[in-house]
Amino acid sequence: MNKRLNSEKSGSFPRFGRRRSKRELETGSFKLKGLKPKVCGKNQNPVELFWKPDLNHDQILEKVVQFIEKLASGQDKSKAPEIPNFVESFLKMVESRIATYEQSEASAKLGFNKEYTSFFEAVSCLSKIVNTLDEFPFDSATTSCFNRAGSVHHRAMLLSEYQFLALLDISKRNCNVTVDSKTPKTPKQSFFNSNQETDRCVKPEYDSGTGIVFPYFPPQSVANMNQVALAMISAGYEEECFIVYSGLRLKALDFEFSNQGYENVNMEDFQSMDWESLEGEIDNWIHIVKYCTTNLFSVERKLCNSVFPEHSLIAQKLFCDLATSLTIRLLNFPNAIVLIKQYSAEKLFKFLDIYETLRDLTSSLGSELSALDLISETSETQRRVGEAAVTIFCQLENSIKSDNERIPVASGAVHPLTRYTMNYLKYACEYKDTLELVFQQHYETEGSTRRKVQKQESTNAIEDNDRIPKTSHFSVKLMMVMDLLDAKIEMKSKFYRDPALRYIFLMNNGRYILQKIKGSTDIDEIMGPSWSGKRTSDLREYHKNYQRETWRKVLQCLNHEGLQTNGKVSKAILKGRFKNFNTLFDEIHKTQSIWMVSDEQLKSELRVSISAIVIPAYRSFLGRFKSHFDSGKKAEKYIKYQPEDIEGLIDKLFEGNMTSMARRRHNN
């Protein structure tokens, strides 16, 4: 008998009915079969077509609750329970309300909050009736009640699914938000309140750039979602509930991506883009990722927790699934970027921007177990971008090594390679912390052989000064770049035939490098005071060498010794001295006035040092031997300059007068 009853029970009513396909649940494209109400006549209230109870809703519901409590607490479960008449009244009442709500989409005038709550209280009781009766033996009355309650309950769940869709589908809502012309504006009203007021988005999240509000739900709608979700989960319809929620939230998030101006770009598009266009795409990508990390994810997590507050693990899983879908879409962009092998040093900074954005994205995903795979995937993409950044930075070394231009820079000015390298390092050190992390990860993933090579490179680069410790991989790499630049500038200085101009070139470049380093706290800290002290000492040595190469012969002309013959000053020798001085000084002035010293302080130091050794010597020589010349034009032939004239001409050295240079070349 029990087997027959169990067979009858299970065969007469499929407890959860036909499951909806994932596509139906995500799109809301299914029809509520079996729920189509009768057609109303003219001026006829649709509720009158259905059964009307003798007791009111609250009275019936109270009796049903008492009946369920009695069955659950003290009823003998060895025999079938007696089913009171009010249970049938309750089932008819719920069935009538389902039909009424179906018909009410265009006409019913129901109070939203109260009606909504009471309906799901009744649905909860339905679920309890089915579950409680399932614990008892079945007779004909129990079987009939069980099957009838299950059938009504199933219809209520179908209605709940459709209501959940209506609540979640933002394309069918009418929120007061600023959206573009593509935004659907036709509202989809709830089964449970066809005359509900237009949703007003409370506590909106604004994007300062577009003014778009997200996620478009007022608090009351969120509370209603919670009631529907709770009823569906309690009734065993959690799969349908989750598919509907995930599908429509993902649709909403895609819609928000579109509102933010983000579009997918495939690898073929990347290959055909110039770098300027690609930079714009990178900026757009960074914008949407930052929008996700600072706004979208936190709002979506809050919405999940609000719709499923009684099921925190479910809320966490749903959020992680949504975040995974969006994040994988976002990761496609940097994963495609790193496949572009035509790297140049200038692209480093955009790659570092991407790296930092991915780091923030990883942090925003949280630390839940359900997010570990996603965090791992994001970290792996971040690592690939970091490897690309290391490769790009190493292009700087290659560009220095491959600069084999043998034509010296005109006027001994700062070499373009020096300017490029130092400005590059200055900007790179604005990402110092990120580059430290990138290089650390790079060498951690290298094999032991590579680490040994790096250790040797560190030893060679650091030598005996007080630079950053060997474990600072980026610092070691930066110092290697500086050593390469120093060696390259030293090599290029040898292309100058004039030794004095060679030292001007070395001073110009050395001073430029030193000023750039002192102007960047990060580089200065990396290189250390000993490095700066050694470069300052080198500059002083270049200065001394310049003076020796340029002014040694000039000062020899002003030497008091060797002028006398037989105890008297020889006019012939004296005239030769003045003549040689004039010739040498004129040549130096003509040549070195077009040499370039761009650093004003260095230029001033050079002029002051030249004046300090030349003018006193000339003044002394002139004062002592001027009297040996007769006054007049004959004396002016040899004494061409007064000390003041010499000082004025020295102050015109190193101006880099290109007009004078061009005139000189033309005359030659």
Helices marked H in 494-599:
499-518, 521-557, 571-592
Query: Is the domain of 276 the same as that of 391?
Result: yes
Decide if 509 is inside a domain: no
217-240: average pLDDT = 87
Helix (H) or strand (E) holding 37: none
Is the pLDDT at 10 greater than 90? The verdict is no
> Cα angle at 40 between 37 and 43, to 5 degrees?
150
CA–CA distance, 558 with 573 (Å, rounded to integer) = 12
DSSP letters of 184-235? ------BTTBTTPPPP---S-EE-TTT--EES---HHHHHHHHHHHHHHHHT
* pLDDT reported for residue 518: 92
Backbone angles phi, psi at 623, to 5 degrees: -65, -35
Decide if 204 is inside a domain: no
CA–CA distance, 156 with 121 (Å, rounded to integer) = 12
Average the pLDDT over each of 36-50, 122-136, 361-375, 456-470 and give the range with the smallest value. Answer: 36-50
Is the pLDDT at 352 greater than 50? The verdict is yes
SS3 of 197, please? Answer: coil
Query: Is the domain of 265 the same as that of 398?
Result: yes
In 3D space, the residue among 34, 95, 35 whose CA is nearest the CA of residue 60 turns out to be: 95
CA–CA distance, 389 with 385 (Å, rounded to integer) = 6
* pLDDT reported for residue 641: 92
Evaluated on CA atoms 349, 338, 402, 446, the torsion sign reads positive
Burial 596-607 (b: 16+ CB within 10 A, else e): bbebeebbebbb
User: Of all residues in the chain, what percent are helix, strand and coil, respectively (each to 5)?
Assistant: 70, 0, 30
Query: What's the distance, CA 313 to chain centroid?
Result: 29
> Cα angle at 262 between 257 and 265, to 5 degrees?
130
60-65: average pLDDT = 80
Q: How confident is the model at residue 118 (pLDDT cuts 50, 70, 90)?
A: confident
CA–CA distance, 665 with 422 (Å, rounded to integer) = 33
* pLDDT reported for residue 178: 37
| pLDDT (tens digit per residue) in 406-443 | 999 999 999 999 999 999 999 999 999 999 999 998 98
Could you tell me the residue range of the domain that residue 376 belongs to? 261-402
* pLDDT reported for residue 246: 93
Query: Is the domain of 266 the same as that of 162?
Result: no
Average the pLDDT over each of 35-44, 115-124, 212-221, 559-568 and give the range with the smallest value. Answer: 35-44
- Which of 132, 153, 173 is at the close of a domain? 173
Burial 256-265 (b: 16+ CB within 10 A, else e): bbebbebeeb
Highest averaged pLDDT of the listed ranges 66-80, 145-159, 222-236, 512-526: 512-526
Contact call for residues 232 and 241 (beta carbons, < 8 A): yes
Q: How confident is the model at residue 116 (pLDDT cuts 50, 70, 90)?
A: low
User: Of 141 and 362, which is predicted with more confidence?
Assistant: 362
How many CB atoms sit inside 10 A of residue 266's CB?
A: 9
- Which of 153, 173, 193 is at the close of a domain? 173
User: Of 183 and 267, which is predicted with more confidence?
Assistant: 267
Average the pLDDT over each of 43-57, 191-205, 534-548 and give the range with the smallest value. Answer: 191-205
* pLDDT reported for residue 52: 52
For residue 41, give the DSSP letter: P
In 3D space, the residue among 519, 514, 342 whose CA is nearest the CA of residue 427 turns out to be: 519
Query: Is the domain of 166 the same as that of 298?
Result: no
| pLDDT (tens digit per residue) in 525-557 | 888 899 999 999 999 999 999 999 999 999 999
Contact call for residues 504 and 546 (beta carbons, < 8 A): yes
Mean pLDDT of the chain: 78
User: Of 210 and 294, which is predicted with more confidence?
Assistant: 294
Query: Is the domain of 166 the same as that of 61?
Result: yes
Decide if 39 is inside a domain: no
Say how many domains are in the chain.
Answer: 3
Is the pLDDT at 184 greater than 70? The verdict is no
Structure tokens at 163: 């209501």
Decide if 10 is inside a domain: no
CA–CA distance, 241 with 232 (Å, rounded to integer) = 6
Is the pLDDT at 201 greater than 90? The verdict is no
Helix (H) or strand (E) holding 62: helix 57-73
Is the pLDDT at 277 greater than 90? The verdict is no
Gyration radius from the chain CA atoms: 44
pTM above 0.75, yes or no: no
Q: How confident is the model at residue 182 (pLDDT cuts 50, 70, 90)?
A: very low
482-494: average pLDDT = 95
How many CB atoms sit inside 10 A of residue 16's CB?
A: 15
Is the pLDDT at 566 greater than 80? The verdict is no
Query: Is the domain of 276 the same as that of 146?
Result: no
- Which of 373, 402, 431 is at the close of a domain? 402
How many CB atoms sit inside 10 A of residue 240's CB?
A: 23
CA–CA distance, 410 with 134 (Å, rounded to integer) = 98
Decide if 432 is inside a domain: no
Strands 213-214 and 205-206: antiparallel
**Residue carrying structure tokens 């030497």:** 559
Helix (H) or strand (E) holding 235: none
CA–CA distance, 511 with 514 (Å, rounded to integer) = 5
For residue 404, give the DSSP letter: -
Decide if 142 is inside a domain: yes
Structure tokens at 250: 């993902």
Q: How confident is the model at residue 171 (pLDDT cuts 50, 70, 90)?
A: low
| pLDDT (tens digit per residue) in 577-631 | 999 999 999 999 999 999 999 999 999 999 999 999 999 999 999 988 888 887 7
* pLDDT reported for residue 152: 85
Share of the chain above pLDDT 70, in %: 76
Share of the chain above pLDDT 90, in %: 39
In 3D space, the residue among 110, 303, 318 whose CA is nearest the CA of residue 218 turns out to be: 303
Strands 564-565 and 213-214: unpaired
Helix axes 112-133, 85-103, angle to 10 degrees: 140
Amino acid letter for position 652: K
Query: Is the domain of 384 the same as that of 273?
Result: yes
* pLDDT reported for residue 288: 93
Backbone angles phi, psi at 273, to 5 degrees: -85, 145
Decide if 20 is inside a domain: no
477-498: average pLDDT = 95
Q: How confident is the model at residue 35 (pLDDT cuts 50, 70, 90)?
A: very low
SS3 of 206, please? Answer: strand
Q: How confident is the model at residue 95 (pLDDT cuts 50, 70, 90)?
A: confident
* pLDDT reported for residue 3: 33
> Cα angle at 545 between 541 and 548, to 5 degrees?
140
Decide if 22 is inside a domain: no
Structure tokens at 54: 């003798």
Query: Is the domain of 276 the same as that of 389?
Result: yes
Burial 176-208 (b: 16+ CB within 10 A, else e): ebebeeeeeeeebbbbbbbebeebebeebbebe
| Residues facing 573 on adjacent strands | none
Neighbour-count burial of 566, counting CB atoms closer than 10 A to its CB (0-12 exposed, 13-18 middle, 19+ buried): exposed
In 3D space, the residue among 116, 323, 293, 344 whose CA is nearest the CA of residue 222 turns out to be: 116
* Those residues with Cβ within 8 angstroms of residue 324's Cβ, 6 or more apart along the chain or in another chain: 371, 373, 374
380-408: average pLDDT = 92
Evaluated on CA atoms 101, 103, 105, 109, the torsion sign reads negative
SS3 of 569, please? Answer: strand
